[in-house]
Chain A
Amino acid sequence: MKKILSLIIFTILSITCFGQSNFPDNGVKDYRNKYYAFTNASIYKDYQTKLENATLLIKDGKVVSISQSTQVPKDAIKVDCSGKTIYPSFIELLSNYGLPEPKPAGEGRENGIQLLSDKKGAYNWNEAIKPETQAYMLFNSDKDKAKSLREMGYGAVVAHQKDGIARGSGVLVSLGENKVNKLILKEEAAAFYSFRKGISKQGYPSSLMGAIALLRQTHFDADWYKKNEGEVEENISLKFWNQQQSLPSLFIQNDWLSLIRADKIGDEFNKQYIFKGSGKEYQRIDAIKQAGGTLILPLVFPKPYEVEDPIDAHYIGLPSLKHWEYAPYNPSIVEEAGIDFAFTMQDLKDPKEIMGNIKTAIKKGLSKKMALKALTFTPAKIINSADLVGSLDNDKIANFIITSGDIFEEGEVLENWIQGEQFFLKSINTNDLSGLYDLKFSNSKEVYELEVSGKPSSHEFNIVVNDTTKIKVKSNFKSSDISMSFQPEETDQYYRLSGKIKEKVWEGNAQDTLGNWIKWTVDNRRELKKEEEESDKKKDEKKEEADKEKDANGESAEMDKPGPICYPFLPYGWTEEPKQQSVLFKNATVWTNTDDGILENADVLIKDGKISKVGKDLGSSADTVIDATGKHLTSGIIDEHSHIAISRGVNESSQASSAEVSIANVVNSEDINIYRQLAGGVTTSQLLHGSANPIGGQSAIIKFRWGKLPEEMQFENADGFIKFALGENVKHSNWGSSGYIRFPQTRMGVEQAFIDHFTQALDYKKSMQSNPEKTRKDIEMEVLLEIIDKKRFVTCHSYVQSEITMLMRVAEQFGFNINTFTHILEGYKIADKMKAHGVYASTFSDWWMYKFEVNDAIPHNAAILSEMDIVTAINSDDAEMGRRLNNEAAKGIKYGGMSREEAWKMVTLNPAIILHLDERVGSVQSGKDADIVLWSADPLSVYSKAEQTYVDGICYWDINKDEMLRKANQAERNRLVQKMINAKNGGAKTQKHQHKEPKHYHCDDMEDEGK
């Protein structure tokens, strides 16, 4: 009854879509409904519903029904699928199938920066924002690519043009060969975003933080455009941006840090992105889970490296070695964390590797159910198209594959049906013929034993003579036609057979060795003999094969456990989180940085992350008591000017002001330099924007909480700062001819750049107050207003006295103070003016002569400034110098005769004051944060070493523990190297290592990191 009902429904449906088209026919109309019934199949309706002996009925490119009924409508073509499995076809979300290569809007500039978009038309100011790119307008099918995707089991893909930060919409298309109009299943399946500007030749953004700011600002721009459409200038890009806000938003990125960054933007604008994953989710699975987005996981499993040469192997980083081992586990780790995901073949050099890699992932714990879901249902769900594709049900698109068995085992894709059209890959009738048969000839009573073994697609035929002897039978069979030939024992002549394979009996005509025409039959099928009975040779072969498989993965699956995850995923990362403890340091020389000065033989107790007590004989009640006799205890070093732990660029350099960007958005917790700074006694650093423009970007102040996430490293409740800059870098003086374009080029221009921007900010404020609806929210202006309103503080890169004075005057004109002059190499020339303005100084100890504007730098600068009662710090601006700032401070004694305490404060208390953190850090005083360092000797001495460094009472650097970590690193490296050699010997292909040089930024580092 049900069946009849569904037939009736189908008839109604078929009437509504009888194939009407406005395309003229050249001939008579040749409409076909393609009514098919696939019977006796195992059918996955969806990833979790499998029906056995079921029938799939399709018509007009859609599924009519799936049932376990054996009844088939008369007018349907019956396809017997006994022993076959039917799956919904797979879906790829990150394809550029059928789309033209994106072309840059212009040629760029041979000399200098391209400041605005070269795109012709009423589009956005920035070329990397191109939501007007609509893939369905550009799509054309591509037979070769479609064929290769179909062979892998894919039936539909979402194609988008992979370029830009806002990339526009992607189209869902099927992989059939129909006319393009039929192939488009959904015009706008999703909108795509990324942090890379791609082929845009425009200068902005030149950094990751610029890309982030651009995305955020475009949200505000588009919002304003929506509210004021028709009243403000036309902007096609923003119009499309607004239209795409209702689409699923796919964010393309390649590391988990950026995934978290993207998610933060999503949170700000009430948007949950779906993220392309990196394949390295295992490194921070909790944080990924927290982000809450569905993932699109690539399946790139690196080949083992060539490690036989120990010197070559030395240059391979531990994360690369570990990733080789972990990558195949990533899908199962993500599954276990309960995060939903689709698979993508993107990032694979050879997309055909995807199924092999999925099988590998299954061996490493991924469930088959999840694997199927990630290929079918989840991608469909991500683009809100589960009603069309990704599963097989009434009225869904008839995209399915017929396989010879379990697709995650030995099963092969035999046919791929797309929109109800058959694409024949391998014969569906490759029945499994394996077994033993009797072969008889009409002219003889002899019964030959015929053995058919191996996979259906590659059956081997043999005549079994006895336990040790077989005669090879050459065979050729297509669907039911078969021909065979063999040489009976004792002759050198052939029997040649031709015939048909039928259900129980195969039969046909033959010519015997003498050329006589005779009849032949094959029947009496029975099971192959069990493995134990197989010849030894065969066994050995099998064993070898099994071994190969085992070794390609290093060892057998059961034994294979990857090494520990460490935080961060670097050498010296911890596997067990270091805990906050109460620690009592006994009998130390304590540099308090208070009126108490340097205390000899003093005790310090830290507890609950704070300094609890400082004094004599504090007893011994603490989790740990450390005999610090002969050692020195100080507060942690604070670096006012650092560029470590930053992802993809410190300069957003293409505009005179980039106040909208923030280093806080791009803190990189996975930087080995954090550990190295801790080893030098540094506990807090201000990570600054570079100095390529007068108004740089907002800074981040972080505590070196090694192994924590970027957010967790931020110094809580710290005041916001922003980097300004003056002089040669701002003027692009040392850029060669490419530096002659952007305003300002002179110190005169620099002054006006400041005045102009602050004037604009005040105008913006007025407009916001008088007409908030019509005023475009502008992040840059809001940040500048924070400065004027004394809610954000300026630290300015500076060398020459004239411009230093100028900036103080500009600030005074706008009613605020410069907080800090950083570098400030000619500060000594105008120390009186600086004192009057009330500014702090943060300088180099002794750098000079690397460019013209520093030829009057003197190493006595810090001493003069201090003498003039200006709070002065020594900074590094350099990852290496950052870890020996204690020695740099000592130069204050050498040049200018500072006292030891005064010198020491230049790297501890003074930077704390400068950064407004002296309530929390900078001195050893009860109630302050337990950010302290235990030194082997006088910390100013070149001979002393930091033995322990604590942040919040947690010991992140311990010179003894470091020794153990070195050994652990060594052991882990060795384990992985041995495993790789085994894998290689087991037949795995290898790759040469290419070392990625980590970047160490300075102020004037300018490489375009926005690409």
Chain B
Amino acid sequence: MKHLNITFFLSCLILSYTIGFTSLQAQWIPSPGKAQEKTILITGGTIHVGNGQIIEDGLISFSNGKIELVQATQKQSLGEDIEIIDATGKHIYPGLISPNTANGLIEIEAVRATRDNYEIGKFKPHLRPIIAYNADSWVTPTLRSNGILISQIVARGGTIPGSSDIVQLDAWNYEDALVKGDEGITLNFPNIVNRGGWWAEPGDIKSNDKYQKQMLALKNFFLEAKAYCQNDRHEIKNLKFEAMCKVFKKEKKVYISASHAKNILNAIEFIKEFDIDGVIVGGRDAWLVTDELKENNIPVILRKPHSLPYLAHEDVDLSYKLPFLLEEAGVNYCIQAQTGSGEQRNLPFTAGKAVAYGLTKEKALMAITSNAAKIMGIDDRLGTIETGKDATLVISTGDILDPQTNHIELAFVEGRKVNLDNKQKDLYRKFMDKYDLKHKRH
């Protein structure tokens, strides 16, 4: 702590950072922020801690990328080399966390060459999405500018598509981006029902004839991997099994995709049977089986609450109120916005919608910050604005959850100031200039 006892008054700011648009060179993929040099002090803003707590007229200080102090603004000691940011009237939030994405793995969905998330094979826990992570995606800067600073990236396809990694979204390269590597594996749980058709026109749902066979293959894989992991010397190494050993030590999570109520129940049984650290991903029908989820303390990553109800007779607003139903039932959950990377940036509004259907605003915020951090095991560093955690946070002029007011002015990743420009803002400026229209906002 390098605090000096200098009395702090708003009137005698040594250095004041003006929040607002700073004219920049065209930056489609802006450079990551420079490492934090000075201690930064944010004052006057409303701090949404991310755990339900709100601190009005709050003060946050952070050095070397870590939060040192979070409290109500008061006469305060001030360091000699301190940058002070006046956030009066503004809102400060933990950096938002988007789980279960293909950010950086897919650039343009319809262009095969830009898809890097779908490897061949069925059981692939050894695959590492992080090495395919494109730190220079055009999309990533557009997520940051809506407040999303952390993503979980996962592979798709097969029974075990791959492992999963957590990245921060302001990085030079993938090694830079990595927050927590190899933190879990994903698992597409065999469906008791199968759906024909394709994504836009799902066909009829029929019971899956191959369910037993698929379950057997899955269980055998786990059984064999578990047995393999009992022994740490192998004449012949099996990369797939090697990648599973941490699963059985509960050092790696298992993110299990399951939406149908029976699938969720089966997945819960599976988690118990193998004594693994399981998370349900999808959870469309989780509201039907909340007791089982709660009893076994199994969290849910709710996929895309901006969905139509699955069945005509279900409540019209079922998917909007699903977070609330889980909240009420005491199930741990967080929210995944969309499936496409271009739409990830609507994560805060997806959570906001749930407020109209029962959640409080702070609970909705938790669903995209601290809950997500806990579920993915990164809550020691991320998810809330608390002392000792990473200084990964955003300042919005208004309520971050409502598109009318979400306006991210400043963002920090580990104390580094994030350049919030992006390709879209640049094109906007370019054509506002072409037509000689006055810049309004960006």
Contacts and interface: CB of A to CB of B under 8 A. Distances in A.
Interface string A451-478: 0000000000000000000000000000
A728 B110 contact: yes
B411 to A, nearest CB: 16
Contact of B403 (A673, A832, A894): A894
A849 B428 contact: no
Contacts of B431: 828-829, 831, 864
A849 B108 CA distance: 5
Q: Name B's interface SS.
A: loop
A427 to B, nearest CB: 47
Contact of A850 (B340, B407, B437): B340
Interface of A: 311-312, 314-315, 317-319, 570-572, 672-673, 675-676, 679, 728, 733-734, 828-829, 831-832, 846-852, 855-860, 863-864, 867-868, 879-881, 884, 887, 890-891, 893-897, 900, 936, 938, 940-945, 962, 966, 969, 973, 992, 994-1002, 1004-1005, 1007
Interface string B332-373: 000000001111011001001101110000000000000000
Contact of B441 (A679, A851, A856, A896): A896
A856 B426 CA distance: 11
A675 B353 CA distance: 19
B317 interface: yes
Give 7 nearest A-B pairs by CB, closest first.
A897-B440, A851-B110, A849-B342, A897-B441, A571-B313, A942-B352, A995-B205
Given A831-B435, A849-B107, 4 more contacts: A832-B435, A894-B404, A995-B311, A997-B202
Most chain B beta carbons < 10 A, residue from A849, A884, A1002, A1004: A849
B311 to A, nearest CB: 7
B174 to A, nearest CB: 20
B73 interface: no
Contact of B312 (A318, A829, A864): A318
A867 B345 contact: no
A860 B424 contact: yes
Contact of B349 (A850, A856, A938, A942): A942
B401 interface: yes
Given A942-B401, A969-B313, A1005-B201, A867 B356 contact: no
Nearest to B114: A852
Given A571-B312, A867-B437, A941 B404 contact: yes
A995 B193 contact: yes
B100 interface: no
A858 B139 CA distance: 11
B222 interface: no
Contacts of B309: 676
Nearest to B260: A315
Given A315-B311, A941-B402, A850 B197 contact: no
Contacts of A1005: 200-201
B288 A849 contact: no
Contacts of A999: 201-202
Contacts of A733: 110
Contacts of A572: 312, 316
Nearest to B196: A997
B140 to A, nearest CB: 11
Nearest to A940: B404
A846 B402 contact: no
B205 A890 contact: no
Contacts of A1000: 200-201, 308
Given A311-B288, A849-B109, A852-B110, A860 B428 contact: yes
A685 B203 CA distance: 25
A849 B343 CA distance: 9
B206 A994 contact: yes
B428 A858 contact: yes
A846 B355 CA distance: 22
A551 B437 CA distance: 76
B440 A317 contact: no
Contacts of B357: 945
Given A860-B424, A943-B355, A992-B207, A317 B306 contact: no
B404 A890 contact: yes
Size category of the binding interface on chain B: 35 or more
A744 to B, nearest CB: 19
B111 A851 contact: yes
A944 to B, nearest CB: 7
Contacts of B437: 864, 867-868
Contacts of B441: 894-897
B353 A995 contact: no
B431 to A, nearest CB: 5
A859 B109 CA distance: 19
Interface in B412-428: 424-425, 427-428
9 contacts: A312-B262, A315-B205, A849-B138, A858-B427, A860-B427, A879-B308, A893-B403, A894-B406, A942-B401
Nearest to B139: A849
A24 B202 CA distance: 62
Contact of B435 (A311, A868, A881, A900): A868
Contacts of A969: 313
A884 B306 contact: yes
A571 B312 CA distance: 6
Nearest to B308: A880
Contacts of B378: none
A944 B356 contact: yes
Nearest to B193: A995
B272 interface: no
A676 B201 contact: no
A541 B441 CA distance: 85
A468 to B, nearest CB: 53
Interface string B294-316: 00000000000011110111011
A998 B312 contact: yes
Most chain A beta carbons < 10 A, residue from B139, B198, B345, B403: B403
A942 B355 contact: yes
B424 A859 contact: yes
Contacts of B207: 992, 994
B424 to A, nearest CB: 4
Contacts of A994: 204-207
A566 to B, nearest CB: 12
